[in-house]
Chain A
């Protein structure tokens, strides 16, 4: 194809997206569109999968059967979300094995929030309430993104996600209305998860490199700072309601803006964790790679069994 032909195709492509048409896997697409989607979608899938680890830590120690079945169901949902997203990404021509390889070698990133430890039961409450809350704010706009398989996967994910947030907040309600020690535990979890949750909405607009292109392709509908403000505005009253204090001395209602003003985010910490120096980066990858390697004989055995069965069937047919 000549350069002019490609430019022409690109122009038609951008116009289709501007008209709100969906792009499907076999349609022509600019290489950059394909690569950007492979990167974002696979990292999204990796985040779901790694996201199971901090919560899985508490399944056997949940304080009641009610809490245990809920947490188990939530973690299963995350496995499911990872699978929807992996198979949606595969439609762009990358194999599942390549994606795993990228995750396991550290070439692909996953959400940094999962590099923090879950040291008390209240952390499970805080994760559902804050981490899933921030994730929902990030994900809802993706239900109408331009790439069909991604949009369809996100519709399913968002439908399932709201139970996650409610189960987390319910844990926080219970702890906050319990003994002083239980309330203290809830406050401690909020203290530790608040700032990392704000960081989940991404670098500030001034630092964000992909925003303009992502807006065009509808991978983004609002800027990181707008999403962060939305998260803060909706979460602060929820903390007030259960008598917990947001760990930000600069947090203040701004009558004029109709929004909360908030303190400075420690972006050095954010970049440190992104670069692999968070408290749990090594541990998470060790668990993930270990699970993959320990499962190898099972995968191989299942494949060998399937092939043997198919062979036997063929022989019987002769």
Chain B
């Protein structure tokens, strides 16, 4: 068994075409960022799925904890007045 460090994990984001955002495609292991980019090309874009790739080492991502989703997302739940349907208008009003 090897005593040296294992290749770290990277998250891969791909822009499918210009005009669209980069989207999370998956992850992979690579020794460094350059290798992560090349591996991402081979693993996730074998059929022209992308025009641009971002890779970021997974340990650099801070994620919210789904167990705290209550306090995290609750504040937005009772604010129906942020949606247009909250406001009552007479039927005759057009284009609004």
Contact = CB atoms under 8 A, between A and B. Distances in A.
Interface of A: 24, 26-28, 73, 76-77, 80, 83-84, 87-88, 90, 95-97, 152-153, 160, 296, 299-300, 302-307, 309-310
B46 A80 contact: yes
Nearest to B4: A300
B78 interface: no
Given A96-B6, A160-B47, A302 B31 contact: yes
B26 A87 contact: yes
Interface in B26-41: 26-29, 31-32, 35
The 6 closest A-B pairs by CB, nearest first: A306-B32, A302-B31, A306-B31, A87-B27, A300-B4, A303-B31
Contacts of A77: 46
B26 A306 contact: no
Given A96-B6, A299-B4, 6 more contacts: A77-B46, A80-B46, A84-B43, A87-B27, A160-B47, A299-B31
Contact of A303 (B5, B43, B46): B5
Interface of B: 2, 4-7, 9, 26-29, 31-32, 35, 42-44, 46-47, 63, 65-67
Nearest to A28: B67
A87 B28 contact: yes
A87 B11 CA distance: 10
A310 B32 contact: yes
A168 B42 CA distance: 23
Given A80-B46, A83-B43, A96-B6, A88 B31 contact: no
Nearest to A81: B43
A305 B5 CA distance: 12
B32 A26 contact: no
B31 A26 contact: no
Given A84-B43, A160-B47, A304 B4 contact: yes
A83 B28 CA distance: 7
Contacts of B42: 76, 80
A304 B43 CA distance: 23
A187 to B, nearest CB: 34
A26 B53 CA distance: 25
Contacts of B4: 299-300, 303-304
A97 to B, nearest CB: 6
A94 B14 CA distance: 25
Contacts of B9: 87, 90
Given A26-B66, A303-B7, A304-B4, A80 B43 contact: yes
A96 B32 contact: no
B57 to A, nearest CB: 11
A153 B26 contact: yes
Given A84-B26, A90-B27, A153-B26, A26 B7 contact: no
Nearest to B29: A96
8 contacts: A26-B66, A28-B67, A76-B42, A76-B46, A80-B42, A87-B9, A97-B6, A299-B4
Contacts of B32: 302, 305-306, 309-310
Contact of B66 (A27, A296, A302): A27
A316 B66 CA distance: 41
A24 B66 contact: yes
Contacts of A305: 31-32
